[in-house]
Amino acid sequence: MGRRGLLAALAIFGLGFVALGFAALAQQPRIYTSEFDDLAIAGYDAVSYFAGEPVEGKPQFSLRYRSAVWRFANAANRDSFLQNPQAFMPAYGGHCAWTLASGAFVRGLPAAWEVRGGRLFLFYDARVKGFWDNEADRNIRFADENYAARSAPADPNEVPDPFDDRAR
């Protein structure tokens, strides 16, 4: 193989690695963050939800994971998260679980939440969580299917609020 052939083979080989890298990124759904910062769960400690009382994290106990900054109340919670992030991350990247069951990506807020079956679900507000509770198992099935079938929009803040009468 001549020099040109070797360069062509290396270029094709390199493009394959680039394509694999993009494919891997595409398989990791986006974590919801505000348009004003890159805080996951608006800076709340993801691990604290599993103790039954969510608390705000502190900047000194933060880390960057999946393009978002995660804050924790203490070093122990940060270390627990590092050992198994998937166990503590909110379902659906922090988008509202109920609206996702309906097929829409809307932000989930840290004050409206539920831990069910070892998963953290966030909701748009308490009213929406009430809708979710009426048929939680069915809603989880639909939200799981919708989340797997679609990727989050480039900017979740551009999704209209389904409960805003002005958006209809």
**pLDDT tens, residue by residue, 40-98:** 999 999 999 999 999 999 999 999 999 899 999 999 999 999 999 999 999 999 999 99
Tokens of 21: 């890298």
Whether 111 and 94 have beta carbons less than 8 Å apart is answered as: no
> What is residue 150's predicted lDDT score, i.e. its pLDDT?
76
State what percent of residues in the chain have pLDDT above 70.
72
Burial class of residue 15 in the structure, from the number of CB atoms within 10 Å of its CB (0-12 exposed, 13-18 middle, 19+ buried): exposed
Q: How far apart are the first and last CA of the chain?
A: 64
Mean pLDDT of 28-35: 78
Range list of β-strands (E), 5-108: 58-65, 68-72
> What is residue 34's predicted lDDT score, i.e. its pLDDT?
84
Give the angle 46-94-145 at the CA atoms, nearest 5°.
Answer: 125
Spatial distance between the Cα atoms of 153 and 69, rounded to a whole number of angstroms: 19
> What is residue 138's predicted lDDT score, i.e. its pLDDT?
97
Residue 115's CB is within 10 A of a number of other CB atoms, namely 15
160 pLDDT more than 50? no
13 pLDDT more than 60? no
> What is residue 4's predicted lDDT score, i.e. its pLDDT?
62
135 pLDDT more than 60? yes
Residue 168's CB is within 10 A of a number of other CB atoms, namely 7
Tell me which long-range contacts 149-154 makes (C-beta under 8 A, separation of at least 24). Answer: 150/103, 150/105, 151/26, 151/29, 151/30, 152/29, 152/30, 152/32, 152/93, 152/95, 152/105, 153/105
pLDDT digit string, tens, across residues 93-134:
999 999 999 999 999 999 999 999 999 999 999 999 999 999
